[in-house]
A and B are shown apart, each in its own frame.
Chain A
Amino acid sequence: MDLNATIIGQIIAFFMFVWFCQRFVWPPITKALEERQKKIADGLEAASRAGHNLEMAQGRAAEMLKEAKVNSAGIIDQANKRASQIVDEAKEKAREEGNRLIAGAQAELDQQVNRAREQLRLQVAGIVVAGAEKILQASVDEKTHASLLDKLAASL
């Protein structure tokens, strides 16, 4: 077992190599390792956050759906109400229109009846006068017998 200057050489080489390792080898690799660890941690955190967000969004969606349902029910209700209202209004209008038409027709009818009656009366008066003339063989003076004729006509 011979000890010699190889020890010194080895010590020098050792410190040089450790220095090189410390200066050029260790920092970049450990930095890459740390960065990767951080990336993975960030990724996991983002994933859990996304899951949380999804949960929240789902909750919100359900809430909105419920609200929409309530709204739509209200709208349908309102529409139904409005529709029946419109139908009622239409019915009312139709009835009024009908009544009006009936009233108009009635008025016209009355008028025509009156007119026909008047004509008839005149004709009857004429016929009566003619008949009377024929019976009396004399003309009936319209003027003198006007009141008689009128009475007759009114009684028809």
Chain B
Amino acid sequence: MAEVVEIAEEAPVYENASEYVRHHLSFLTYGKTEEGHLGFAHTAEEATNMGFWSIHVDTMLMSVVLGLVFLGLFFSVSRKATSGVPGGLQNAVEFVIEMVQNSIKNSFHGNCAYLGPLGLTIFCWIFLMNAMDLVPVDMIPLAAQAITGDPHLFFKSVPSTDINITLGFSLSIFFLVIYYSIKNKGLGGFLGEFAFHPFGKWAIPLNLILELPGFLAKPVSLALRLYGNLFAGEVIFLVIGMIGYYQLPFNFAWSVFHILVIILQAYLFMMLTIVYINQAHNTH
């Protein structure tokens, strides 16, 4: 596939397919450039060289915008929430909230007023992020390029295909798990779970070797599961996007299949959060 991939008249022209894919998988990174001043990276290499203290403006922006969309929608409903006959939008919102409440009721045995809003935010926000995968792959990047006037602008539109975003989620949950563990079991109880299980106090090193990796793996697996699923989905969308007009049936088929994935992944993330927080409340 060495031919030129044409996207639109004024769109950037890519040299070959891998260039197209690579461009679409690059982030709009803002940080300290090699010359020593703040600015956007122009190549993937440059972005990598910025190190930790740089930020993916595209995914971060999309993430915040989608979060605001979720909050705005739900907030507008909550302002007019009535215990009478609900309207269409309130019905939909209530459906989601009841789904979250039922999930919590089924897998959480404790008392935690924070968990409801937490689960709701995670589910809706991640769902919206994942749903960006269903927007045609070039639409949002082209719009961003048109707005900024830079035809080579990197713009990655699906926040959950950025490991930083998914890690942001999972680390937040990780902090909450630690917070609730210490709150409910005390610092001693929390650390004791690593030291004295499963073999009792005479095998502390062995216990630590067994328990600690499992605990630390939670946020990593949580983040990588979401990232992996969505990244793979997006790559396939990109590959389908390169085959010209014949892409439409494939694109449709993969989108339909992907609807399942985006809901499932959002639901899974919420469920695992509930399970982890539940473990933080249970004293063994």
Contacts and interface: CB of A to CB of B under 8 A. Distances in A.
| A, B from the same assembly | yes
Interface of A: 1-11, 13-15, 17-18, 20-22, 24-33, 35-36, 39
The 5 A-B residue pairs whose C-beta atoms are closest, nearest first, are: A10-B168, A35-B83, A6-B164, A22-B117, A32-B81
Nearest to B165: A10
10 contacts: A2-B29, A4-B56, A5-B52, A11-B168, A15-B172, A21-B74, A22-B117, A27-B78, A29-B90, A30-B116
Given A18-B121, A26-B117, A28-B78, A33 B98 contact: yes
Contacts of A9: 55, 60, 168
Interface in B167-188: 167-169, 171-172, 175
Given A2-B48, A4-B53, A26 B168 contact: no
Nearest to A6: B164
Given A21-B117, A30-B116, A3 B167 contact: yes
Interface string B189-231: 0000000000000000000000000000000000000000000
Interface of B: 27, 29, 31, 47-48, 50-56, 59-60, 63-64, 67, 70-71, 74-75, 77-79, 81-84, 86, 90, 93-94, 97-98, 101, 113-114, 116-118, 120-121, 125, 162-165, 167-169, 171-172, 175
Contacts of B52: 3-5
B231 to A, nearest CB: 10
Nearest to B124: A21
Contact of A21 (B120, B163, B165): B120
Given A9-B60, A36-B83, A17 B121 contact: yes
Contacts of A31: 81, 83
Contact of A4 (B29, B79, B90): B29
A7 B164 contact: yes
Given A1-B163, A11-B171, A30-B116, A17 B81 contact: no
Nearest to A1: B163
Contacts of B77: 29
Contacts of B163: 1, 3
Contacts of B53: 4-5
Nearest to A33: B94
A20 to B, nearest CB: 6
Nearest to B125: A17
Contact of B121 (A8, A11, A21): A21
Contact of B54 (A4, A21, A24, A35): A4
Given A6-B162, A29-B94, A11 B172 contact: yes
Contacts of B47: 2
Contacts of B48: 2
Most interface-central of B53, B82, B164 (chain A CB within 10 A):
B164
Nearest to B47: A2
Given A10-B167, A17-B125, A25-B78, 15 more contacts: A6-B168, A10-B63, A11-B168, A15-B172, A17-B70, A18-B117, A18-B118, A20-B75, A22-B114, A22-B116, A24-B75, A25-B117, A30-B116, A31-B83, A32-B83
A21 B116 CA distance: 9
A39 B82 CA distance: 12
B257 to A, nearest CB: 26
Contacts of B54: 4-5
B50 A20 contact: no
B273 to A, nearest CB: 11
